Amino acid sequence: MMTQIKIFDTTLRDGEQSPGVNLNQLEKLEIARQLERLRVDRIEAGFPASSKGDFEAVKAIAETIKDSSIIGLSRAVQSDIDTAWDALRNAEEPCLHLFLATSPIHMKYKLKMTPDEVIETSVNMVKYAKRKFSIVEWSAEDASRSDWDFLAKIIREVIDAGANVINLPDTVGYTTPEEYGKMFRYIREHVPNIDRVALSCHCHDDLGMAVANSLAAIENGVTQVEGTINGIGERAGNAALEEVAIALKIRSDFYPYETNLKLDELKRTSDLVAKLTGMSVQANKAVIGRNAYAHESGIHQDGVLKNAETYEIITPELVGVHSNALILGKHSGRHAFKEKVIELGFTLSEEKLNQAFQQFKQMTDHKKEVTDDDLFTILMEIQTNTSAIKKYQLEMFQVQYGSANIPTATVSLKTPDDHVVQTACTGNGSVEALYKTIAALIIEETNLLDYQISSIGGGKDALAESYVKVKVNGEMINGRGTAADVLEASAHAYINAVNKYLIQQNTVRKEVITSK
């Protein structure tokens, strides 16, 4: 009989802590909807007490998602618990994730608390949380570097206080599979009331062992795995949930465990997270990288053609990788387009559906084959764009470039206060000239930190997709842009980063911008 493993997704909390990742509320909602379609058991929507923006996003997700449990993170502080409850009270199953560090180094230098004080605080806060939440998960931060006897003692106490789930994270990615597995085995053997709770693991990838450590934890009694899509997160990231799930599926002969995940939604979920965070998936990434099903070696190609199982242990269809055949064309009507939108998993208002259809029609004027990837990009941009805050809009741009000329860009922008401004600048290259000109037209202080360009799909008419990281008024923001032209996509990405800053700050420009 297969043991059920719950999947706890923390892409929207731990994943968003990746440097340069700033998701607005609509982007978080779209990821949450996709995680629900993926059939994730629990979604950690954020840390409500950390900011007003996070509070509002968690609240919106809690009120929208019905088929997955929504969880909020909280320190072992009464005010954090109260704030989390305010954000989650309307969820189908409000859950709290309460944490306090237990390792000697954390207790001494960060918390400045004695072990007894850590136990007392944990017990009191679990009891307080249980007055509001039916499900409380307690985490021993930095458990993998904690004393096991102390862990057993505090776990026994918090279980008696009412905790439902005990999470023992490898917070700094320090442990090894054998050591991590032994820790869970030790806890199961030395905590007499351990049968009253579920055990959970949360692994970071600093030494590249997050997935292996998670599997070792499962082998030693863990029934919930915490991680992120694409393995994003602080520092080197978290355990990649798609890798854990597929490992359990493919090696079911070795692992008598299963998840509720709808595995053919993995690729779409990965693509959505990559696009919205700006963190591209490496080509050779396990399970969902674009090279995962490519075979270049002649021997490999010959074997796959004769029998796919010779070199292909995961079928592309298992994770939702399908051929990019033509799906809609120049003569496709609105009804067919609407059906495709539903098929791709998007729910759009009539206004947004009309916007998407217009963009699709514009695309067919210059692109012969419109693929699922192209439509996915259009729909994602429409769904996650907010008109509630006035933003910068690109009116016109022109770049003069040649081997014998100094690259010069002319840009016309509409500002948030509806003024149209224009100027021109030179640069060492066409992109630098373009970005210098845009920066000269906006009032926010900007500094480009990273710039990437790639294509969506293949062929000479493939869309260009640009990702940037820009420091806007001292805050690092990621931006993205797509267009048929590389420079236009680059311009949209830079402006998108500034607009995301405006959304984040919830500011409306009142000045008439004339020059900078």
pLDDT digits (tens, 9 = 90+) for 346-358: 888 888 888 888 8
Contacts of 294 (CB under 8 A, 6+ apart): none
Q: Report the topology of domain 393-505.
A: Double Stranded RNA Binding Domain (3.30.160)
Per-domain residue ranges of the chain: 3-277, 292-321, 334-383, 393-505
Terminal-residue alpha carbon distance, the chain: 69
Which among 42, 23, 138, 39 is positioned nearest to 91, based on CA atoms? 42
**pLDDT at residue 127, rounded to an integer:** 98
The mean pLDDT value of the chain amounts to 90
Taking alpha carbons only, the member of 411, 418, 432 closest to residue 513 is 418
pLDDT of residue 379: 84
Q: Would you state the pLDDT for residue 117?
A: 98
Choice among 181-190, 228-237, 367-376, 497-506 with the minimum mean pLDDT: 367-376
- The side-by-side arrangement of strands in the sheet containing 463-472 is 446-456, 463-472, 475-483
Task: Give the residue-averaged pLDDT of 78-97.
Answer: 97
Q: Which of 100-104, 113-117, 256-260, 509-513 has the lowest mean pLDDT?
A: 509-513
Given the DSSP bridges, would you call strands 198-203 and 135-141 parallel, antiparallel or unpaired?
Answer: unpaired
Top-level class of domain 3-277: alpha beta
pLDDT band at 300 (very low <50, low <70, confident <90, very high): very low
How sure is the predictor about 307, in pLDDT bands with cuts at 50, 70 and 90?
low
pLDDT score, position 351: 86
Residue 301 pLDDT class (50, 70, 90 cuts): very low
Please tell me the distance from the alpha carbon of residue 139 to that of residue 33, in angstroms, as a whole number.
26
Residue-wise pLDDT tens digits, 210-220: 999 999 999 99
Structure confidence at residue 500 (pLDDT): 86
Distance CA 63, CA 88 (A): 8
* pLDDT tens digits, one per residue of 308-325: 666 578 888 999 987 544
pLDDT of residue 326 exceeding 70 = no
Mean pLDDT confidence for 457-470: 84
**Residue 166 clears pLDDT 90, i.e. is over it:** yes
Answer whether residue 8 shows pLDDT above 50. Answer: yes
What is the Cα–Cα distance from 38 to 347, expressed in whole angstroms? 16
Confidence of residue 512 (pLDDT cuts 50, 70, 90): very low
pLDDT value of residue 507: 36
Question: Which residue reads 């016309």 in tokens?
Answer: 412
Structure confidence at residue 325 (pLDDT)? 47
Lowest mean pLDDT among 29-38, 177-186, 461-470: 461-470
Distance CA 415, CA 420 (A): 6
- Give yes or no on whether 3-277 and 393-505 have one common fold: no
Dihedral angle, C-alpha 25, 238, 246, 41, nearest 10 °:
-50
List pLDDT tens digits, range 40-69: 999 999 999 999 989 999 999 999 999 999
What does the alpha-carbon distance between residue 420 and residue 265 come to, in Å, rounded to a whole number? 43
Q: Check residue 311 and give its pLDDT.
A: 58
pLDDT, residue 302, reads 55
The answer to whether the beta carbons of residues 20 and 469 sit under 8 Å apart is yes
How many Cα atoms sit within 13 Å of 499 on the Cβ side? 25
pLDDT at 287 over 70: yes
pLDDT score of 424: 97
pLDDT, position 295: 44
User: How large is the average pLDDT for residues 172-176?
Assistant: 98
Percent share of the chain, pLDDT over 90? 68
